[in-house]
Copies of this chain bind each other. A is one copy, B any other.
Amino acid sequence: MRAAYYAGKHAIEVGPCRPVDAGPGQVRIRVSHCGICGTDLHLYHGHMDHRVKLPQVIGHEMSGTIESVGVDSAGWREGDRVTVRPLDPCGSCPACLAGHGHVCMKLKVLGIDEPGAFQALWTVPAHTLHRIPDGLDLAHAALIEPVAVACHDVRLGELKAGEFAVVLGGGPIGALVASVAREAGARVLVSEINPFRVALLGRLGFDVVNPRESDLTAIVNERTGGAGADAVFEVSGSEPGAAIMADLLRVRGRVVLVAVFSKPVPVNLHRFFWRELRLIGTRVYEPEDFDEAIRLLASGAQPFTELITGVYSLDELQRGLQEMERGADVMKILVDCGS
């Protein structure tokens, strides 16, 4: 079988790989599709080399079919269509003991701290599995993981029907957050600077503003009768996003922090004080977010699958990363791991 390896900064190698037997409490999955995540791009840039063992198979947004089942994996059998919630918490740190294992203080993320899914056969702990419903296409099911991120963000942001939400950053996660927020009944405005993404989101029915061309704050105030937005999802990870996020909110509004900021950035804390705003940090997902993501994808309620702009072979993984890197006309790229 074959796998795509991260082999060091800017280097992806595709080559043979020896399948790992499913041990106790494990299953081996024949991987169907695996999406390329922003985190994979971050890995590719060498920013997470302290967490990987080179060369390492990466990838964690996947779908597939169980190929073999180890002992002590009750409830699962060969042929089951599954996706993986790629988190392996320690179970004993203060975060785990408090019931927040998804942000375990020693969390192992499959595809980062452990081998990932850009390979034909992937062996994982059975406790990470979620079942894919019959009606959901396996390629589309590779979106479950990023949709679960969006479900987590909208849930922790306590977004309610009728509220006005601004999504700063209309890349794959921003687009999914906007979709889940719309499904929750919110009015959604997306702020995005990439023309391809602006156009794509516009075709999907979103109200999209390019903040380099329009006054975002003025537009939000206009849309909300001068009150400000109920919630802002900061998904851009940019200094301008961090600088403006608080200014867009109504009194007691919420910033839902989704993006990964690699260094401290200036934040208008005065506005948090003045309007009694809240900021809610969010990271990955909990099991219920996977359940909700599966339900939403299976329902077909939102055009999630329209965000897939390409399905590449394993050999084309590096091409996909390069396209994402240069801001090409792409949104979500999947890799067909069976190809």
Contact = CB atoms under 8 A, between A and B. Distances in A.
Interface of A: 94-95, 98, 100, 103, 105, 156, 225-228, 242-243, 250-252, 257-283
Nearest to A250: B94
Contacts of A263: 270
Given A94-B228, A257-B273, A264-B268, 16 more contacts: A94-B225, A95-B250, A98-B251, A100-B276, A103-B251, A105-B251, A243-B264, A257-B269, A259-B273, A260-B273, A263-B270, A269-B281, A272-B279, A275-B281, A275-B283, A277-B281
Contact of A278 (B98, B243, B267, B280): B280
Nearest to A246: B281
A121 to B, nearest CB: 32
Given A273-B259, A273-B261, A98 B282 contact: no
Nearest to A234: B269
A266 B269 contact: no
Nearest to A228: B94
Nearest to A94: B227
B103 A274 contact: yes
Contact of A265 (B103, B225, B258, B269): B269
A269 B282 CA distance: 11
B281 A273 contact: yes
Contacts of A243: 264
Nearest to A105: B251
Nearest to A99: B252
Contacts of A251: 94-95, 98, 100, 103, 105
